[in-house]
A and B are shown apart, each in its own frame.
Chain A
């Protein structure tokens, strides 16, 4: 069995996938702090 290839693929593959998703969690948290949800005010129709 090509153990070296399998291990490289698993460690790099899972490691980078997990690392990227954790990084995205941080990015999303930052975005939601920078742009918090505000209830949109309904525009009053004049006239």
Chain B
């Protein structure tokens, strides 16, 4: 009977070892699965993250990203701590993006800068709340509205905040259609929102489309070499797409590679969200600051749109400014929808996509400059 008892002793041990923090996290994981499956919020990410949260918090399972030697620990070390996953994801992003509308109307690239202002305003807020420089910079980058960029910067400077920041970044990206419209309506008059912009008929030669990722990659990396892994991979993906001679590589980049990395990235990030380090007041502050960052991006984007509307004597619809973020293509769709609500004859999508792709470049550039400044000031990673 002793042998029988010993054989059964390790079964069911998980129930005894379950803490209230782990239980809360498991419920949170189920909540993320619910949002992904039922509500359709970023299911590609929320499903692996939610499942990762559940697996990582089940006691004695050895599935947390911090369980030495575990499967997800290996993935965490190989893909997150080395920054490999977010960088690989950028090849896929580049292969998915058509810079055509932006190249045809390059002025919209300026909106890509305005859409990053929230990052720096949020940095001030985070510093005023007592966060360390590395933490403040990592939190502020949520305002880039770009999950991989946020993960890349946070891994470099505040890896302990990675779970909260990555969840906040991806959650807010999916909430762009809810967050942006009220701000856009509040900041513009119906007359401004009704402005009809001529549909872009200007076309760009294939040579320009092929040369742009090469030239832009070289210029931006020479200016801010710290951002080379992000910008370099983004431009590589786009070059593969536009070259037209490597359809198989383009297909792999925008489908298989992006999907595999998204799955592993989400799973490992989820498995790193343990009750002990996630259920803190700091997490609530990070979510609050991330929300403010995204609102400020929209505010500054629309303000620039209003300015451009003024100097062009009403030729630019200010709503376009809200698309100067990295939330691609959600922001463009929001602009199109709001424009049509105000004036059913208005089609802003083409212009908004141009600003949106500009926002993608702007957010990577802002992150690269931020990294360069931090390194220039001699600020290293915060490990405690």
- Chain A: residues with CB nearer than 8 A to chain B? 1-3, 5-6, 8-10, 12-14, 16-18, 20-25, 27-29, 31-32, 35-38
Report yes or no: A35 in contact with B133, Cβ–Cβ below 8 A: no
CB neighbours (8 Å) of A20 from chain B are: 219-220, 223-224, 365
Task: Given the known inter-chain contacts A13-B120, A14-B116, A31-B208, please indicate yes or no for A21 contacting B127, CB distance below 8 A.
Answer: no
Task: Contact check, B369 vs A24: say whether CB atoms are below 8 A apart.
Answer: no
Tell me if B116 and A28 are in contact (CB < 8 A). Answer: no
Cross-chain contact B112 with A21 (CB below 8 angstroms): yes
Other A-B contacts than A1-B128, A21-B112, A31-B103, 10 sampled, CB-CB below 8 A, are A6-B136, A14-B116, A14-B366, A21-B362, A25-B110, A32-B103, A32-B106, A32-B208, A35-B208, A37-B202
Q: Which residues of B contact A8 (CB under 8 A)?
A: 373, 377
A31 with B362: CB separation less than 8 A? no
Q: Are B113 and A21 in contact (CB under 8 A)?
A: yes
Interface size on B, residues (CB 8 A): 44
B370 and A27 form a contact (CB under 8 A): no
Q: How far apart sit A23 and B362, CA to CA, in the bound complex (Å)?
A: 12
Chain A residues with Cβ below 8 Å from B107 are: 25
Instruction: List the B side residues contacting A6 at CB < 8 Å.
Output: 120, 123-124, 127, 136
- A31 and B124 within 8 A (CB): no
The answer to whether B120 and A28 touch across the interface, beta carbons within 8 angstroms, is no
B50 within 8 A of A: no
In the bound complex, what is the Cα–Cα distance between A7 and B223 (angstroms)? 20
A31: B residues at CB distance < 8 A: 103, 207-208, 211-212, 215
- Please measure, in the bound complex, the distance between the C-alpha atom of A29 and the C-alpha atom of B128, giving whole angstroms: 42
CB<8 Å pairs between A and B, sample of 10:
A5-B133, A10-B121, A14-B113, A24-B219, A24-B220, A28-B103, A31-B207, A31-B208, A35-B208, A37-B204
B128 in contact with A16 (CB, 8 Å):
no
Q: Is the CB of B117 within 8 A of A14?
A: yes
B248 at the interface (CB under 8 A from A): no
Q: A17 to B365, alpha carbons, bound, how many Å?
A: 6
Inter-subunit contact A17/B366 (CB<8 Å): yes
Check A25/B370 contact, CB under 8 A, given A36-B205, A37-B204. no
